[in-house]
Structure 1
C-alpha cells in the first residue's frame, strides 16, 4: 500500500510534474479564494515554480546530548516553491529544487525558543533576563522539501541569545552547519480540499532525525570568552547519534498554477 504522503503528493503532480519545463504566463497575484492562506510566500512569479509548499511546525522536541528543548507551536515554518527538473537517474525521473521566497529568508521563518532551566540549568529568574537563554534556528543554505515524501533537509545554525553572550553566539556555522534531515516517521491525515484537486493537505505529520551533529559554540561573549560556558550548558560539541529532533507539522502542497491569475 502506498503511504499517505505519496498519495498526497500525487494530488500535486497534475499541476506541476506533468508540465515539466512549461513556463506559465499567468500573473503573480495569489487567488483570494485559495485554500489555507499563507501562500503569499510562494514565488509564483518565477515560471519554474510548479508546486507551492508550506510546512508549519505545531510542536516537538530537540534533544542535544541530554539537553531537552520543547518546540512550541508556530516557532518554525518553511515555505516556498518547488521546481521539477528532469533527471533520468532520480527516483521519480526528476529532481525537486526548492525555490525560496524573494524576501531574503531562504524560506525559513523561526522565532526564539526558550531553553528550560536558563543559563544555569536551575530555572531561577533574574532581573533583566540575565539567566534566560533562547535559541533560534537560522538557515545557512536553502532547505529542501520533498513534495512527494514530505521530508525536509535544513542546513542551519542555532543562535544562542542572552544579554551576557552578545549578538554573535552560535552553535554551528555556514562552514560547519547542523544538518537536520527530517524524514517522516509517522504519516499524517490527508485532508481533501473541495474545488482544489491539485492540493494536498496532510495534518499532524511526524518528522524525526537522530543523525545530526551539533558543533561547539563560537562567538559567545567578548572574543568568544564564554564559548566554554555555552558548551558546558548545551553539552556540545555533540556527535551524531547523541541528538534528536522530533516535530509534528501540518504540510500543505498546492499547484502553483492554482494561485496564478490567468
Structure 2
C-alpha cells in the first residue's frame, strides 16, 4: 500500500461506483473488511456514496465544571451520499455511535453533594452507596441522525460559511446504584448539540477560540493497477466550545425503596447533580476536543470486496 495526494483520494471516492466490478452477496473482505457494518446497499449510499469509519482515540468533554477524559476509543460509522453535506446513514449490525462508558472523576462525590433539605433516608442511602460503589459512568448516546461534511473537515472554510464537519445531537447517561437507570444530562427533546470542526472556533465568553487540525489525508491503494483504494485521514482534531448543555433529570434510584415520592426524589437528586456540575451550562462554558482517524471508501469498492 502506498500514499498519494488528496486530489487523487477524492478521485478514488468519486469514481468508485463507475469502475468497481460486480460481486456476489457476502461480507466485505481484505482492506474493506473494516466497513462491514456500512449500509453500502442502502440506495442513497450505493448510488455513488461512501462508507465511513471514524475512531476517536483521545480528547475530552468539559461539561459545566466537570471534565470527562476520552481514554477509550469512540467509534462512529455508517454511510454517506456525499463528501459534502450528508446525513450519516446508520450502521447495520453495529451501533452507529459506539461510545464506551467513561469514568466520571470523583464518582458520586465528584458530581453531587447531599443537600441540607434531603430527608434522612436519602442521606443514609447516599453515604451507604458512596462507601461501596462511588464510581459513576457517563455514556454518550445519540438522539438524532449525525450530519457530516467531510469537505469541511479536510478543508476548514475561512470565508465565514458554516465550518461544521460533524453535528452530533446527544444525551449523556449517568449510571450508579444511587442515580438509577434514567439519569441523563440532556434528552431526546432537549439534546446537547455539538458542532465539531477542524478550524478555529468563535465561542461566546468566557471561552476563548480554540483550533482543531485537519490532520493528514492520503489514499491507501488496495489494487494499484486498477486504481482502487480508499481515503485515509489520520490525527485530525475536531473541536467545539460553543455548545450549551441542559440540566440533568431523572436521577434517583426508586429501586432503593426510599419512602420518598418519585418526583421528589428526582428533584432532590437531579438538583444536587445540577448544582455541583453547574447545569444547565450556557454556551461558552463547555468544550469538546476529539482526536482520531477516519477511513472513507467508495460503497462500490466495499461491495466488490464481498466474499
Q: Give the alignment's TM-score, normalised by structure 1.
A: 0.81
- Distance between the aligned counterparts of 2:136 and 2:40, measured in 1? 38
- Give the Cα–Cα distance (whole angstroms) in 2 for the partners of residues 27 and 7 of structure 1: 28
Greater gyration radius: 2
Give unpaired runs (5+ residues) of structure 2: 112-128, 154-164, 199-211, 253-261
2:39 matched to 1:38? no
**1:191-250: CA deviation from partner (whole Å, max 9, x where unpaired):** 431225441111111000011111001100143141111112321100111100001010
Question: What is the distance in 1 between the residues matched to 2:175 and 2:29?
Answer: 39
Whether the 8 Å contact between 1:96 and 1:146 is mirrored in structure 2 is yes
Report the Cα distance in structure 2 between the residues aligned to 1:192 and 1:261, rounded to whole angstroms.
18
Partner of 1:29: 26
> Which of 219, 224, 232 is the aligned partner of 1:201?
232
Q: Which residue of 2 aligns with 1:117?
A: 106
- Partner secondary structure for residue 239 of structure 1: coil
CA RMSD of superposed structures (Å): 2.6
- SS for the counterpart of 2:289 is strand
Q: Counterpart in 1 of 2:53?
A: 54
**Structure 1 spans left out of the alignment, 5+ residues:** 85-91
Residues 149 and 8 (structure 1 numbering): CA distance in 2 closer, same or farther, change over 3 Å? Answer: farther
Q: Which whole-Å deviations, capped at 9, do the CAs of 1:14-37 have from their partners, x for residues lacking one?
A: 236xx7xxxx975553431124x4
Q: Residues 245 and 95 from structure 1, CA distance in 2 versus in 1: closer, same or farther, beyond 3 angstroms? A: closer
2:64 aligned with 1:65:
yes
Cα distance in 2, alignment partners of residues 42 and 57 from structure 1? 18
Secondary structure of 1:102's counterpart equals coil
How many pairs were matched up? 239
Of the structure 1 ranges 169-178 and 112-121, higher mean CA displacement relative to structure 2 is found in 112-121
Structure with the higher fraction of residues in strand conformation? 1
Contact 2:185–2:246 (8 Å) recurs in 1? yes
Aligned partner of 1:144 in structure 2 is 147
Contact 2:76/2:97 (<8 A) preserved: yes
